[in-house]
Amino acid sequence: MYVCLCKGVTDSAIRDAVDAGAESLRQVRDQLGVASQCGKCACVAREVINEHMESA
CB of 4 to ligand FES, least distance (A): 3
CB of 22 to ligand FES, least distance (A): 16
- Which of the residues 1 through 56 are near ligand FES (CB under 6 A)? 4-7, 34-41
25 pairs with which residues across the strands? none
Q: Which is nearer to ligand FES, 1 or 56 (CB)?
A: 1
Contacts (Cβ under 8 Å, ≥6 apart) of 16: none
Rounded Cα distance between 20 and 40, Å, is 24
Residues that bind ligand FES (CB under 6 A): 4-7, 34-41
